[in-house]
Chains A and B, each alone.
Chain A
Amino acid sequence: EVKLVESGGGLVQPGRSLRLSCGASGFTFDDYAMHWVRQAPGKGLEWVAGLSWNSGSIGYADSVKGRFTISRDNAKNCLYLQMNSLRVEDTAFYYCAKDMVFNYYDSSGFRFDYWGQGTLVTVSS
């Protein structure tokens, strides 16, 4: 059974940093691209960042570029999101999501077949 479990969310002040983690099990982690997707309270889904199986391709939404860093440790089956210079508008549930292919920029990429239950990040003073 595929499982994705996010952790690391919480309350943080504007301008501070937070690191999210996502532990994966039930599939060959280093065979697939992985992503972070968020949902602000009362809003829709927004793709945040993604990276290919070997971290060779990495992409970010314009809203987080330069502030967030996505990474993975294939030996530990873990995905990470380092969030710096946090803003109030970054407040959201953050979901870890598995892609169906190893390189998300392939034509078959950006199809998220498994998701975690999310971790809440609240940015407030």
Chain B
Amino acid sequence: SSELTQDPAVSVALGQTVRITCQGDSLRSYDANWYQLKPLQAPVLVIYAKNNRPSGIPDRFSGSASGNTVSLTITGAQAEDDAVYYCSSRDRSGDVEFGGGTSLTVL
């Protein structure tokens, strides 16, 4: 099982700010990435290397890190942000592991 822990579900009112967190010891040593998954769509990388946005990702998405916790913040959540978000990082063997995912509901 994953050693990256995420809250299973979070909700946010439309236009408000939400923070999704991911905890794990490996995060003290390795950067984290965040992926957005929607049903029947290809997953999307929204943040990589802690706080870098790929081209095409809105600037309302940002990342941060402190100790063994990384966070994905959506400032001014939109209806299209309703999705499941997964963090990922390197594990002890140097491979990659994912968190359990956080289902974000935009109300």
B and A form one assembly = yes
B-binding residues in A (CB < 8 A): 4, 39, 44-47, 59, 61, 95, 97, 100, 105, 108, 110-118
User: Which 4 A-B pairs have CB atoms at the shortest separation, nearest pair first?
Assistant: A110-B96, A45-B98, A115-B42, A115-B43
**Is there contact, CB below 8 Å, between A44 and B95?**
no
Q: Once bound together, how far apart are the Cα atoms of A4 and B41, in whole Å?
A: 12
Docked complex: B72-86 residues within 8 A CB-CB of A: 86
A-binding residues in B (CB < 8 A): 2, 33, 35, 37, 40-45, 48-49, 54, 86, 88, 90, 94-101
**Is there contact, CB below 8 Å, between B95 and A118?**
no
A43 CB, min distance to chain B CBs, angstroms: 9
**Is there contact, CB below 8 Å, between A95 and B42?**
yes
A105 CB, min distance to chain B CBs, angstroms: 7
**Is there contact, CB below 8 Å, between B2 and A44?**
yes
Beyond A45-B101, A47-B98, A115-B44, 19 additional contacts (C-beta under 8 Å) are: A4-B42, A39-B37, A44-B86, A44-B99, A45-B35, A45-B86, A45-B88, A46-B98, A47-B95, A47-B97, A59-B95, A61-B95, A95-B43, A105-B94, A108-B49, A110-B95, A114-B45, A116-B42, A117-B42
